[in-house]
C-alpha cells in the first residue's frame, strides 16, 4: 500500500541552511590574500624607512693593511674616495673597490672586506722593488717593471739600464754578477747593458768593470780572485778594469800618472 504525503494547509517549508566549512579550511583559503597584503605592507615599509635606516651606517673609515709607507696608503684612500663617498656599510661596491685598488701599478694583489659597523678594510700585497729600470720604472722581485718611483724611496736601489725589451736579460746579468761579487763584499750600484749585452758595472766602491757576455761569469770570478789577492791592496787605487780579454784584464788606476792602464 502506498503512503500519501499530506500537506497541511497553512504550513511553511523552512529553507535548509548550507553546511559551514571548517575554520581551518576557511583560513587556508584566505591565507594567500593575507600573505599578499602582508608582503605589500612590508614592501611599503621598506621603501619608506630603509633608506633612512641605512644612512645610519655610513662608511666612516678605510683601513689599508699590508702597505708600509704612508704615501702609498694615501694613494689608495684617494683612489677610493669617490667610490665610498655617500655609501653605507651595505651599499659600498666591493667589486669596484677591488678593481680600483688592483689597478694601482705597485699593487700585486688585494682583498676587500667590510668591518662592522662603519669600516672598509683592504689587505694589500705590494710589489717589492729591487732595482730602478731606465730611470722611469721599478723592477719587482718577480722581474716585472712598474711605474711607482714617487711612491718608494729608491736611493738604495741599483740603477739598471738597457734596451727596453731586454729587461729579463739585464736582470739575469744583475743577479748572477751580484752572486759572483758578493764573496769579496762588492755590490753593483749601476749596471749599463748595450744591445750586444756588453755590461758596464759601477760598484759601490766606485770601481768600474767592463765585461762582455762571452763567459762573463768566468771573467768576473777571475777578477774576484785578483781583487781579493792583489788589486784591492794596491795603494794606487783601482779605478777601472776591462775584462773583455780571453786570458787577462786591463787595469786602470786612480793615480794621475802618464800611463795608468796596465794589462795583467
Any idea where the domains of the chain sit in the sequence? 61-126, 158-263
Band (pLDDT 50/70/90 cuts) for residue 49 is very low
In this prediction, residues 52-71 reach a mean pLDDT of: 82
Nearest by Cα to 250 from 236, 261, 258, 260? 261
Tell me how far apart the alpha carbons of residues 238 and 256 are, in angstroms, rounded to a whole number. Answer: 12
The CATH code of the domain at 61-126 is 3.10.20.310
Instruction: Let me know if 157 is exposed, middle or buried by CB neighbors in 10 A (0-12, 13-18, 19+).
Output: middle
Instruction: Let me know if 138 is exposed, middle or buried by CB neighbors in 10 A (0-12, 13-18, 19+).
Output: buried
Show the CA angle centred on residue 165, arms to residues 164 and 168, nearest 5°: 105
| 28 φ/ψ angles, rounded to the nearest 5 degrees | -65, -40
DSSP state of 66: S
Tell me how far apart the alpha carbons of residues 31 and 115 are, in angstroms, rounded to a whole number. Answer: 41
What pLDDT is recorded for position 33? 72
Q: What is the pLDDT of residues 19-46, one digit of tens each?
A: 666 766 666 766 677 676 676 656 554 4
Mean pLDDT of the chain: 86
Least confident of 31-40, 110-119, 181-190: 31-40
Q: What is the pLDDT of residues 5-21, one digit of tens each?
A: 555 565 565 565 666 66
What pLDDT is recorded for position 229? 86
Q: What is the pLDDT of residues 196-243, one digit of tens each?
A: 999 999 999 999 999 999 999 999 999 999 999 899 999 999 999 999
* Residue appearing with cell numbers 529553507: 15
Look up residue 11 and give its three cell numbers.
504550513
Band (pLDDT 50/70/90 cuts) for residue 52 is very low
Question: Strands 208-211 and 159-161: what pairing?
Answer: unpaired
Tell me how far apart the alpha carbons of residues 77 and 87 are, in angstroms, rounded to a whole number. Answer: 15
**Distance from the first to the final alpha carbon of the chain:** 154
What pLDDT is recorded for position 86? 86
Look up residue 58 and give its three cell numbers.
655610513
The CATH homologous superfamily of the domain defined by 158-263: Cell division protein FtsQ/DivIB (3.40.50.11690)
What pLDDT is recorded for position 131? 98
Helix (H, G, I), strand (E, B) or coil at 22: coil
Written as one string, the DSSP assignment of 154-174 is: -TTSPEEE--GGGHHHHHHHH
- pTM for this model (two decimals): 0.75
Dihedral sign for Cα atoms in the order 156, 161, 165, 167: negative
- List strands edge to edge, sheet with 107-115: 61-65, 119-126, 107-115
Nearest by Cα to 64 from 16, 23, 121, 12? 121
Band (pLDDT 50/70/90 cuts) for residue 165 is very high
Amino acid at each position: 500500500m502506498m503512503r500519501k504525503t499530506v500537506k497541511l494547509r497553512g504550513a511553511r517549508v523552512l529553507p535548509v541552511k548550507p553546511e559551514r566549512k571548517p575554520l581551518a579550511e576557511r583560513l587556508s583559503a584566505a591565507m594567500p590574500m593575507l600573505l599578499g597584503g602582508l608582503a605589500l605592507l612590508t614592501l611599503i615599509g621598506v621603501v619608506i624607512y630603509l633608506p633612512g635606516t641605512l644612512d645610519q651606517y655610513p662608511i666612516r673609515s678605510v683601513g689599508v693593511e699590508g702597505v708600509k709607507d704612508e704615501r702609498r696608503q694615501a694613494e689608495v684612500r684617494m683612489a677610493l674616495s669617490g667610490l665610498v663617498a655617500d655609501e653605507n656599510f651595505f651599499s659600498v661596491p666591493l667589486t669596484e673597490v677591488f678593481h680600483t685598488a688592483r689597478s694601482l701599478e705597485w699593487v700585486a694583489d688585494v682583498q676587500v672586506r667590510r668591518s662592522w659597523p662603519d669600516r672598509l678594510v683592504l689587505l694589500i700585497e705590494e710589489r717589492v722593488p729591487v732595482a730602478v729600470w731606465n730611470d722611469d720604472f721599478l723592477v719587482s722581485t718577480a722581474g716585472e717593471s712598474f711605474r711607482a718611483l714617487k711612491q718608494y724611496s729608491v736611493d738604495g736601489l741599483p740603477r739598471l739600464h738597457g734596451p727596453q725589451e731586454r729587461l729579463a736579460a739585464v736582470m739575469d746579468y744583475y743577479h748572477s754578477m751580484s752572486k759572483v761579487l758578493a764573496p769579496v763584499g762588492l755590490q753593483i750600484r749601476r749596471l749599463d747593458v748595450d744591445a750586444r749585452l756588453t755590461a758596464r758595472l759601477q760598484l759601490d766602491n766606485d770601481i768600474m768593470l767592463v765585461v762582455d757576455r762571452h763567459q762573463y761569469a768566468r771573467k768576473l770570478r777571475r777578477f774576484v780572485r785578483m781583487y781579493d789577492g792583489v788589486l784591492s791592496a794596491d795603494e794606487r787605487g783601482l779605478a777601472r778594469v776591462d775584462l773583455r780579454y780571453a786570458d787577462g784584464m786591463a787595469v786602470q788606476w786612480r793615480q794621475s800618472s802618464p800611463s795608468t792602464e796596465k794589462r795583467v
